[in-house]
Structure 1
């Protein structure tokens, strides 16, 4: 009767050619391990805004979990083959399900950093257990290995591990995320983990595992593969159902672009645009916001106007209504938002983006303004007015566009005496972020007048009107201003007055080095 194999009875194939195949499996597993971390970071950004603190928690927590996993697996190294296969199956299943679990949890229960931290700890610990197990397997069957031999084994292991990590780091942003999305992309990575586990169990480690372990691994692989296969097949339906819970109105457009999630809802004639879950406008009252944003900056009858952001075309609509405007340059990052502005939103924005006076530039506003300032992209003239209509700076990427450096670039693009207006958030809900914006604009050499109006969809909403000079501009309207539904001189005079419980604050500016406004905004909304 033949005895069951033990972990010390290493098959000859593993002692020779099998090591190359094992190292290939190491690379595949490393690719999966890094991709799971990127999945968590992507979800953190998409679901909760992914601030510096949360990103640091995920990265540092993942690294710490790697070390914890390496320590926790030490008592199991005598059964390295069986434990390694089990770890890979668990990683494939939990990692593959991580995106859908977090997405559905967020949709049903709201933002919970604790869930992200738990996922980070579990996945990091499992990935951390891989290296000690792999080192044990690679060393198995080597008799009398000296320090140099051990160093060679470790060098091969690290090389395969880092090469796989590079592959995973490139595959997620350039292949899986744009083509498959977060939920299906994570599930596909889980399948890769399961395939690696199956190859190892069937070909390399089969003789090093007991019959019971092999049967257990087979059943676990089949169950995990079935779950992930079902998720891949139904990911679109799961995402639609979970997403719809986030919005009160029916979702008619939903697209994950390279920059953000774009969602359009409609109900009873009310069209609403959301970027990464944040409301950008409601067609019921957007006229209040856009009239208050645009027309005070056009009070000097400008001929050439720059619009930064505002890809929905609504700010451009108001600019083009002013009779003095001859040319509008609009700089928008996301082509998907511009496409909405040209199609579904064309009726709302008066087909502004197709107006012959419009020049639409698809680019990052910071980069575009910088290249213009240094002469890399020379412009024929400066702008008489600048409209800055950007989303709230709740991420570091958007925080760049609310920095001293950014407003300095805006100043360089503005003609002497020209006006600039910035949407600055809510002085009621996020007062620190609002007054930080005002202080930051001033730090770039502008004289600033803050003002605010009531937009029912947003509540109390604030703006900052500025010009270069010793005295701040007085919000007003041009004699040529077109007829408006909401704004007039009396409303503007009142808009410059702030109540006693929202007095102006003098705050240090937000800069590229110290993006204070990002944390201001987070604390404001959470308070």
Structure 2
């Protein structure tokens, strides 16, 4: 008996932490600001476990039967939680309440289980041995969950299938205990019936999890979904209508094929055409290859190094025929070297005055992991990576919606020794969008002419892009540093006010 019950501690710990991680990840996908979501969910979950532990003292009899009942309930609630949250995200106004309710229920039930197990085993093991074994199995289970969740479960199973899988695991443990100790378990027949019914329900969910995910996402996107996959880092969705393709990462629009040429022409050409030499170019982010497509219009470029974190993105844009048509096979060009790595870490090791031009095309600084790529520490690395008279261009969110965020980027870039040239362009899918050209040395000059095969940009257009109206003029902001991440706070506040 002790072995099976101790093994159940391992399962309880593993499944409990998995449910917690699923809730945090799902909240980050749907609500943004991953630090806040994970912090509050972990806090609520641990507090709820404390509540469960407190109320365990009121369970006086039939402890093994109650433990099995709790396992079934944890499996049912935890296993279906991600499906419930995805299905109701667009339907209920009080989504956060529902999220924390499910996290709390799971935490309370898991919090009840460990004290009950200790009381069940107190006559089977010496107290010192009991406590050490309970916590050893508990912590090993938590370690396993924390390792397999990002490395295996999210990229290969996704959130919905993972939650169903671990719900099934919970209920299987309950079923085995019920069968093995049938004579000692009160209500054994009822518990077996419950566990079988719940396993059937969860198995159905597991088998049809992709259909469930497709259904929930189809209600979140107005157009037909032609590709959807969870990578190690993000949820990738591509939609299509007769006029356009759209790429979404974690629900956020990255481009529309209808007007992305405006965004990418504005990103690339004002910087590179103002330089005397641009033979070696670095692209940070931009795994879709669209900025690289623009760079390849210059025969004078000898090498383009693209560093993007997510291999799922770069591989997709190297292989999908519709996306290859869009980026014109840019990532397959012999001049282009694709590296899948963290840009911050990579730049630390490759910042030795080797690039003439750097294109920085990261997502907006909506969380701390991205916000570090907008800090003075990062821009110092960019400064060092450029040759003496090089330049870098940074996509810098909307100066209309988020002026403090935009000018914070400008202030931070200037703080490390760059001269800056702020400008903005209207991209219908995004609205008014901002860029900042970071200039090192004295040889950059604003281009008088542009290459002829552009659809949007010319000299007159760029002159207008340099003018900021009164509601977008420069604002005084803090420098964005690793230890304050001021831009994340600016960004969260400004975009929240705009969207709500």
Q: TM-score, length-normalised on structure 2?
A: 0.94
Of stretches 82-91 and 425-434 in structure 1, the one that deviates more from structure 2 is: 425-434
Q: Matched residues in 2 for 1:66 and 1:320: separation?
A: 57
Compared with structure 1, are the counterparts of its residues 429 and 289 closer, same or farther at alpha carbon in structure 2 (3 Å cutoff)?
same
- Conserved in 1, the CA contact under 8 Å of 2:448 and 2:459? no
State the match for 1:347 in structure 2: 325
State the match for 1:400 in structure 2: 372
The yes-or-no answer on 1:388 pairing with 2:360 is yes
Q: Matched residues in 1 for 2:475 and 2:447: separation?
A: 27
The yes-or-no answer on 1:90 pairing with 2:76 is no
The yes-or-no answer on 1:269 pairing with 2:269 is no
Q: Shift of the alpha carbon at 1:226?
A: 1.7
Q: Matched residues in 1 for 2:285 and 2:454: separation?
A: 22
The yes-or-no answer on 1:285 pairing with 2:255 is no
State the match for 1:5 in structure 2: none
Q: Matched residues in 1 for 2:218 and 2:405: separation?
A: 30
The yes-or-no answer on 1:169 pairing with 2:165 is no
The yes-or-no answer on 1:300 pairing with 2:275 is yes
Equivalent of residue 64 in structure 1, options 13, 23, 47:
47
State the match for 1:433 in structure 2: 405
State the match for 1:145 in structure 2: none
State the match for 2:95 in structure 1: 112
Q: Matched residues in 1 for 2:12 and 2:57: separation?
A: 19
Q: Shift of the alpha carbon at 1:336?
A: 2.0
Of stretches 339-348 and 231-240 in structure 1, the one that deviates more from structure 2 is: 339-348
State the match for 2:469 in structure 1: 499
Of stretches 425-434 and 61-70 in structure 1, the one that deviates more from structure 2 is: 425-434
State the match for 2:336 in structure 1: 358
State the match for 1:192 in structure 2: 169
Q: Matched residues in 1 for 2:291 and 2:302: separation?
A: 16
Q: Shift of the alpha carbon at 1:472?
A: 11
Q: Matched residues in 1 for 2:216 and 2:379: separation?
A: 39
Q: Matched residues in 1 for 2:282 and 2:46: separation?
A: 45
Compared with structure 1, are the counterparts of its residues 300 and 111 closer, same or farther at alpha carbon in structure 2 (3 Å cutoff)?
farther
Q: Matched residues in 2 for 1:515 and 1:489: separation?
A: 36
Equivalent of residue 251 in structure 1, options 218, 221, 225:
225
Q: Shift of the alpha carbon at 1:115?
A: 2.6
State the match for 2:59 in structure 1: 76
| CA RMSD in angstroms, aligned pairs only | 2.0
Q: Matched residues in 2 for 1:348 and 1:442: separation?
A: 35
Q: Shift of the alpha carbon at 1:243?
A: 0.8
State the match for 1:222 in structure 2: 196
Compared with structure 1, are the counterparts of its residues 477 and 244 closer, same or farther at alpha carbon in structure 2 (3 Å cutoff)?
farther
Q: Matched residues in 2 for 1:280 and 1:109: separation?
A: 26
State the match for 1:330 in structure 2: 306
Q: Shift of the alpha carbon at 1:397?
A: 1.9
State the match for 1:160 in structure 2: 137
Q: TM-score, length-normalised on structure 1?
A: 0.89
Q: Matched residues in 2 for 1:262 and 1:497: separation?
A: 35
Q: Matched residues in 1 for 2:443 and 2:218: separation?
A: 45
Q: Matched residues in 2 for 1:309 and 1:174: separation?
A: 22
Compared with structure 1, are the counterparts of its residues 248 and 110 closer, same or farther at alpha carbon in structure 2 (3 Å cutoff)?
farther
Equivalent of residue 489 in structure 1, options 459, 482, 485:
459
Equivalent of residue 436 in structure 2, options 433, 440, 464:
464
Q: Matched residues in 1 for 2:77 and 2:481: separation?
A: 39
Q: Matched residues in 1 for 2:219 and 2:341: separation?
A: 33
- Conserved in 2, the CA contact under 8 Å of 1:107 and 1:242? no
Q: Shift of the alpha carbon at 1:50?
A: 4.1
State the match for 2:22 in structure 1: 39
- Conserved in 2, the CA contact under 8 Å of 1:451 and 1:497? yes
- Conserved in 2, the CA contact under 8 Å of 1:330 and 1:361? yes
State the match for 2:289 in structure 1: 313
Q: Shift of the alpha carbon at 1:120?
A: 1.7
State the match for 1:237 in structure 2: 211
Q: Shift of the alpha carbon at 1:48?
A: 2.3
Gapped runs of 5+ residues in structure 1? 1-17, 143-148, 374-378
Equivalent of residue 524 in structure 1, options 469, 476, 494:
494
Structure 1 residues 18-37: aligned runs within 5 Å: 18-37=1-20
Query: Highest CA radius of gyration, 1 or 2?
Result: 1
- Conserved in 1, the CA contact under 8 Å of 2:450 and 2:459? no
CA-to-aligned-CA distance 1:349-384 (integer Å, 9 cap, x gap): 2221122221222211111101113xxxxx7x6111
Where 1:239 maps in the other structure, the secondary structure is: helix
CA-to-aligned-CA distance 1:467-506 (integer Å, 9 cap, x gap): 135x8966x3364634321112222222122221222112
The yes-or-no answer on 1:128 pairing with 2:101 is no
Where 1:345 maps in the other structure, the secondary structure is: helix
State the match for 2:84 in structure 1: 101
